[in-house]
Chain A
Amino acid sequence: MMDPFYLAILRYRQRQFDECITLCTDVLRKNPLDQAAWSLKTRALTEQVRVDYLEIFEDGIAEAVFNEDTIATAARPGTSLRTGTARLSASRDGPSPAIRPVTQSGRPLSGVLRPGSSASARPGTSLDQALKARATTARPISASAGRHVRLGTASMVTSGEGPFINVSRLNMQKYATHDGLAKPLFEYLFYLENDTKHALELATLASKNCSPRDWWWQVQLALCWLRLGQPRNAEKHFRMALLIEPMLITYVGLAKVYVKMDQPLAAIEVCEKGLEKFPLDVSLLTEMARIQEGLQNMSISVKLYRDILSQDSSNIEAIACIGMHHFYTDQPEVALRFYRRLLQMGVYTAELFVNLGLCCFYSQQYDMTLNCFQRALQIAGNDCIADVWYNLGQIAMGLSDTTWASQCFRLAISSDNNHAEAYNNLGVLEARKGRNDQSVAFFQTSMTLAPHLFEPLYNQAKIADSIGDLQNSYLIVQRALENYPDHADSKQLFDKLKKYFETM
């Protein structure tokens, strides 16, 4: 018979963690002091729930709102991710907000949904606003603490028989001296228990004990500080780790730290330095592409994504982002190719089918359009069905079938009560029928749901202007211009009203 511990190691290598854990448990029952088995079991448990912490790392809403750092509200163009960069028309490179929708923070919508791509809170907005904004989006914006705990507890249930390690009774000092035990234990604490405080304690002790100094512990220390919301400390440890030995994760982590501290240019610099050591590395390129996208340097961002594709031709994020860029720069036929590639790679989601449908429609391949939408409707879950209906409404508008469009928008609203865009479009359709009161009600709802949109504001101002409520129209159109200073129609209306009020 095979040695059970050997078998356990084998299972671990085969990523059959459940079996590995059972085997280790057996070994440990026979000899509770078997350090090797203990260490293996710890690693197997951790491996089950391990996620790339840096990838999912995102400012929780509470952190963003309660952030006490004062950010200069008038940062120089292109040096901050937090100021609504959409406002600076001169520095914008790529389609205007009138064509490519923007997120709450005023940045263009990204091609993929990832933590941070729909960042809702921007400093300067009130707490009330931030909380509302978060609640209204159906997107995965969760406060970070809540999510970590969920990930942890889910795995606990599967293990069945209470906690494996009793954290409060650990003698950190003892474990810290033994590198082979300390590392698995740290990861267990960090990823599975989500007990950052104890993990930090262990990492501090271990990094002191080991000589020569170990970059790994420095990186882990930095991760702990990052999770505790102390980017300055994290930066210090990442820097130290770089001095000991330049590693990829350190560069990526440092870039994330700078993004968190709202220093995108520093983050890019770090990535560039990293690329010198690790030429053409995909994770560094991805990081840079994301930052450039956030800074609205669309062409640079797309170029970086293309570089990624030449390294890794099945990188979903790169394909989706380039596709999105082509779609909004009036080349739907090119976008169609990218999305088709995603489909060939096995991505099978309602969002993708909607995108395919829209691309087909705008590149005049009409026969495929509605097939795609049909498919999307069939597989759409509760979280995106509203968007499918909304986009179908856009097609209906394209066919100038307003009845159908209005039905679609109504369906979008009934599946997601907070679909601001659908409310706005419904308002426009009502206004076309001459029902001003109702359309104003819709615009107002849209406005309260999504204060970052300029469309409902402009529409409402236009109606107010047409019924002679000039004062209100003047005030509302100013708010529209605040959201999108270059909107030509708003400007025209504003100038007209301004002239009216100034003339004696």
Chain B
Amino acid sequence: MERHEMWLDAFSDTQATIYTFPNCVATADLAGDGDYRLIIADIGTGTIPSKLKIYKGTGLQSEVTLQDVPTAVAPMFIDNDSPRLPVITVGTSEYIYVYKNLRPFFRAVLPPLQINSVERDIWGQYDSEETLFELLKNLRSQIGMSALTLKSQHLLTLPQHERHSFLEAHKGTPLVRKNIVTCLSTLRKSHNEDDALACLVIGTENCEIFVLHPETFTPIDEAKLTLTDVPVFLSTAGLFDIDYTLTCTTRSGQLLIGRRGWVSPLLSLSKPPVGVVCLDTSIIVALMDATINCYSDKGSRLWTISAVSPITCLHRVQLRQRNLELVAVGLHNGHVSLYTLSGECTDTISFNEPISALYFGQYGRECNSMVCVTQGGSLHVKILKRSADFTPELKEKGAGAMTKLQIPKKTKLFVDQTMRERENSIVMHRAFQRDAFRMKLATARTLVHVLNTKQSPIQESVKLSAEVLGLGPSFVVRIGVMNIGPKSGVGSTGISDLALFFHWNDKFYDVSPPIIHVPFLVPSVEVKFQAKVESINPNGLADVIRVIVLRKKQAQPILVAMINMPPSEVVF
């Protein structure tokens, strides 16, 4: 049975030039009018600065330029005022920017980290640049690069001649160790409603997870978690005031589960994670080996399935009206697959580029919208049809296992011929051996002839390759010369004093330059030369051009290669 298309194309813009990460896309009712806007933090391209882009309906509503590359965006409610207007929080380096009504509202700074006392001493009392550099280097080997201040880190990466000017330029600047936001998520405070007050949850480079108070934006001490590694993906479930679960994966591939003031490693993942979704009682993790794994909150694996292509992003899909939860997986081959929580694929949408970010939620007035950003920078919005059916696709039963190898039947002819072979085996063998002997002799003779006349393009020490470019009457002949001497490898020798010489029929072609001097040839590196060949035959007929490799002051050529020229296009 043909499955019905479940999605309607609402809007797509292939020229949107949005380059973003999975956590940088969200929707929110920014104006309080029930028309949800799409918020995308665009990381820019290097020349174009990072921007916060707000889409309304099928067009860009406004843009806000960001100070730095965004890590994640999270729209949330931070007050109880009415009308209910959410703010947009954007995490960039050490700041959390908060935008209200699309205007900068305030920014929160992560508390700076403590500076190592030894490092402070080194900077305070160094006498020369060399000693400073050496001491910092020693310190680095003791406490690691990430425990140093920004200034030290920068200095350590500079080459020697730039250090002086760096130190001059930054003489007075204080030592700071910034704390950097690595991931961001929200957690509702006391009510599980869309417009309920929420707390921001932040993972930092300093291996900590903070929960910020919604009104004061200061870390709530009792909820602070200290980890052993840097968190990279964060997902939350539950309510802050009642009970909540945090799931995060770290850079070294640990899956952690945290509650209020308590954190414990659940398990170590075998492959680097690419996304995590925390559900009420289970956790879904996508790994780099293109598998989606589901773990219970006790750490036992419930199921695992392989996607057809490497996974780029993972997003939770909640269909409230149907009381259905799914996960959407963006793949590198441009597919977006929807899986049920028991690991069955229910639908696949395909785009023609790798997916870079996915979001599912309300957009405009349509509560089931899928936003998809591809790596080429295009933006697609699809709306789920009311008639969509999420019963899992039936799995095809092991078709591959039982297919027979295609072996053609042995024909009667074959049997007859085998009989002939069996009856005349001795005669046939003798004839074959005799012929083989003759052929070997003939081959060897021809080879000797070829070698004597140096016609082979491969010789013990030099290999030649030639290609012809162009349609004619002007061609370019590109010659590659490579030293493949027997001692190639360690302690090998180079070849010098070579020259390429062209030999051609002057009724057909005109070659310039006729002779090319080859520089010193290092072993195993191909050197390319070009010669221009002009076809001067009025009918475009083809001929052979010979390339002769000569050693200077030696009459015998080393090798000769023939180039069969293609027929030339004729000028009208």
Interface residues of chain A, those whose CB is within 8 Å of chain B, are 61-62, 74, 128, 131-132, 134-136, 138, 141-143, 145-147, 149-150, 153, 329-331, 333-334, 337, 363-367, 369-371, 373-374, 377, 382-383, 392, 399, 401, 404, 407-408, 410-411, 413-418, 426, 437-438, 441, 444-445, 448-449, 498-499, 502-504
> Pick the contact of B567 from A146, A330, A426 — CB < 8 Å?
A146
Dominant SS among interface residues on chain A: helix
Q: Using a CB-CB cutoff of 8 Å, which residues 357-392 of chain B contact chain A?
A: none
Q: Find out whether the CB atom of B289 lies under 8 angstroms from the CB atom of A136.
A: no
CB distance from B249 to the nearest CB of A (A): 12
Is B5 part of the contact surface with A, judged by Cβ < 8 Å? no
Q: Find out whether the CB atom of B466 lies under 8 angstroms from the CB atom of A411.
A: no
Q: Find out whether the CB atom of B414 lies under 8 angstroms from the CB atom of A138.
A: no
Residues of B near A135 (CB, < 8 A) are 467-470, 475, 565-566
Q: Quick one: given A131-B471, A370-B439, A411-B450, are A334 and B413 in contact (CB under 8 Å)?
A: yes
Chain A residue at smallest Cβ distance from B473: A146
> Pick the contact of A370 from B289, B408, B436, B447 — CB < 8 Å?
B436
Q: Find out whether the CB atom of A143 lies under 8 angstroms from the CB atom of B471.
A: yes
Is B517 part of the contact surface with A, judged by Cβ < 8 Å? no
CB distance from B172 to the nearest CB of A (A): 43
Q: Find out whether the CB atom of A411 lies under 8 angstroms from the CB atom of B431.
A: no
Docked Cα-Cα span, A436 to B38, in Å, equals 56
Is B337 part of the contact surface with A, judged by Cβ < 8 Å? no
Q: Find out whether the CB atom of A364 lies under 8 angstroms from the CB atom of B418.
A: yes
Q: Which of B6-14, B121-129, B130-138, B481-489 contacts A (4 or more CB under 8 A)?
A: B481-489
> Pick the contact of A407 from B408, B447, B572 — CB < 8 Å?
B447
Q: Quick one: given A333-B417, A370-B432, are A149 and B540 in contact (CB under 8 Å)?
A: yes
Residues of A near B417 (CB, < 8 A) are 333, 363-365
> Pick the contact of A153 from B457, B466, B489, B539 — CB < 8 Å?
B539
Q: Find out whether the CB atom of A392 lies under 8 angstroms from the CB atom of B252.
A: no
Docked Cα-Cα span, A128 to B463, in Å, equals 23
> Pick the contact of A366 from B418, B428, B446, B564 — CB < 8 Å?
B428
Residues of A near B475 (CB, < 8 A) are 135
Q: Quick one: given A149-B540, A441-B482, A504-B271, are A61 and B471 in contact (CB under 8 Å)?
A: yes
**9 A-B pairs in the complex with CB atoms less than 8 angstroms apart:** A142-B567, A149-B570, A150-B540, A364-B417, A399-B436, A401-B440, A407-B447, A410-B450, A417-B465
Residues of A near B411 (CB, < 8 A) are 331, 333-334
> Pick the contact of B484 from A142, A147, A367, A438 — CB < 8 Å?
A438
Docked Cα-Cα span, A364 to B420, in Å, equals 10
Q: A329-B408, A417-B563 are in contact. List 17 more A-B contacts (CB 8 A).
A: A131-B470, A135-B467, A135-B565, A136-B467, A145-B569, A146-B540, A364-B418, A370-B432, A383-B564, A413-B456, A417-B464, A417-B465, A418-B467, A438-B484, A438-B488, A498-B289, A504-B271
Residues of B near A147 (CB, < 8 A) are 567
Residues of B near A438 (CB, < 8 A) are 484, 488
Max chain A Cβ within 10 angstroms of own Cβ: one of B443, B526, B539:
B443
Chain A residue at smallest Cβ distance from B563: A417
Docked Cα-Cα span, A426 to B465, in Å, equals 15
Q: Find out whether the CB atom of A367 lies under 8 angstroms from the CB atom of B447.
A: no
The 5 A-B pairs with the shortest beta carbon distances in the complex, nearest first, are A370-B435, A135-B468, A366-B432, A367-B431, A414-B456
Residues of A near B444 (CB, < 8 A) are 407
Chain A residue at smallest Cβ distance from B429: A366
Residues of A near B418 (CB, < 8 A) are 364
Q: Find out whether the CB atom of B446 lies under 8 angstroms from the CB atom of A62.
A: no
Is B458 part of the contact surface with A, judged by Cβ < 8 Å? yes
Q: Find out whether the CB atom of B539 lies under 8 angstroms from the CB atom of A369.
A: no
Residues of B near A382 (CB, < 8 A) are 564
Max chain A Cβ within 10 angstroms of own Cβ: one of B488, B540, B566:
B566
CB distance from B312 to the nearest CB of A (A): 15
Is B561 part of the contact surface with A, judged by Cβ < 8 Å? yes
CB distance from A15 to the nearest CB of B (A): 26
Q: Find out whether the CB atom of B569 lies under 8 angstroms from the CB atom of A143.
A: yes
Q: Find out whether the CB atom of B463 lies under 8 angstroms from the CB atom of A441.
A: yes
Max chain B Cβ within 10 angstroms of own Cβ: one of A142, A366, A415, A417:
A417
Residues of B near A145 (CB, < 8 A) are 569-570, 572
CB distance from A333 to the nearest CB of B (A): 5
Is B472 part of the contact surface with A, judged by Cβ < 8 Å? yes
Q: Find out whether the CB atom of A149 lies under 8 angstroms from the CB atom of B270.
A: no
Max chain B Cβ within 10 angstroms of own Cβ: one of A399, A411, A416:
A411
Q: Find out whether the CB atom of A132 lies under 8 angstroms from the CB atom of B469.
A: yes
CB distance from A142 to the nearest CB of B (A): 5
Chain A residue at smallest Cβ distance from B421: A364
Residues of A near B432 (CB, < 8 A) are 366-367, 369-370
Is B139 part of the contact surface with A, judged by Cβ < 8 Å? no
Residues of A near B407 (CB, < 8 A) are 330
Is B524 part of the contact surface with A, judged by Cβ < 8 Å? yes
Q: Find out whether the CB atom of B524 lies under 8 angstroms from the CB atom of A408.
A: no
Residues of B near A504 (CB, < 8 A) are 252-253, 269-272
> Pick the contact of A417 from B523, B562, B572 — CB < 8 Å?
B562
Q: Find out whether the CB atom of B469 lies under 8 angstroms from the CB atom of A128.
A: yes
> Pick the contact of B570 from A146, A383, A445, A448 — CB < 8 Å?
A146
Max chain B Cβ within 10 angstroms of own Cβ: one of A364, A408, A414:
A414
> Pick the contact of A337 from B413, B465, B469, B488 — CB < 8 Å?
B413
CB distance from A126 to the nearest CB of B (A): 12
Chain A residue at smallest Cβ distance from B523: A437
Is B552 part of the contact surface with A, judged by Cβ < 8 Å? no
Residues of A near B414 (CB, < 8 A) are 331, 333, 363
Residues of B near A61 (CB, < 8 A) are 471
Residues of B near A441 (CB, < 8 A) are 463, 482, 484, 524, 526
Write out, one digit per residue, whether chain B residues 424-458 have a CB within 8 A of any chain A CB (1) or not (0). 10011101100110111011101100100001111
Residues of B near A128 (CB, < 8 A) are 469
Max chain B Cβ within 10 angstroms of own Cβ: one of A132, A408, A504:
A504
Is B352 part of the contact surface with A, judged by Cβ < 8 Å? yes
> Pick the contact of A437 from B455, B489, B565 — CB < 8 Å?
B489
CB distance from B270 to the nearest CB of A (A): 7
Q: Quick one: given A136-B468, A417-B562, A502-B272, are A366 and B431 in contact (CB under 8 Å)?
A: yes
CB distance from A96 to the nearest CB of B (A): 10
Residues of A near B469 (CB, < 8 A) are 128, 131-132, 135
Residues of B near A136 (CB, < 8 A) are 467-468
Q: Using a CB-CB cutoff of 8 Å, which residues 276-315 of chain B contact chain A?
A: 287-289
Q: Find out whether the CB atom of A377 lies under 8 angstroms from the CB atom of B569.
A: no
Docked Cα-Cα span, A147 to B432, in Å, equals 45
Q: Find out whether the CB atom of A502 lies under 8 angstroms from the CB atom of B288.
A: yes
> Pick the contact of B467 from A371, A437, A449 — CB < 8 Å?
A449
> Pick the contact of B435 from A330, A374, A377, A414 — CB < 8 Å?
A374
Q: Quick one: given A135-B566, A334-B413, A363-B414, are A502 and B289 in contact (CB under 8 Å)?
A: yes
Docked Cα-Cα span, A6 to B421, in Å, equals 64
Is B568 part of the contact surface with A, judged by Cβ < 8 Å? yes
CB distance from A144 to the nearest CB of B (A): 10
Is B113 part of the contact surface with A, judged by Cβ < 8 Å? no
Residues of A near B456 (CB, < 8 A) are 410, 413-414
CB distance from A465 to the nearest CB of B (A): 19
Residues of B near A437 (CB, < 8 A) are 484, 488-489, 523-524
CB distance from B568 to the nearest CB of A (A): 6
CB distance from B439 to the nearest CB of A (A): 5
Q: Find out whether the CB atom of B539 lies under 8 angstroms from the CB atom of A150.
A: yes
Docked Cα-Cα span, A404 to B441, in Å, equals 10
Residues of B near A416 (CB, < 8 A) are 564
Chain B residue at smallest Cβ distance from A415: B562
Q: Find out whether the CB atom of B472 lies under 8 angstroms from the CB atom of A413.
A: no
Docked Cα-Cα span, A145 to B568, in Å, equals 10
Docked Cα-Cα span, A502 to B253, in Å, equals 11
Q: Quick one: given A333-B414, A370-B435, are A417 and B272 in contact (CB under 8 Å)?
A: no
Chain B residue at smallest Cβ distance from A149: B570
Docked Cα-Cα span, A177 to B305, in Å, equals 77
Docked Cα-Cα span, A181 to B482, in Å, equals 64
Docked Cα-Cα span, A438 to B458, in Å, equals 11
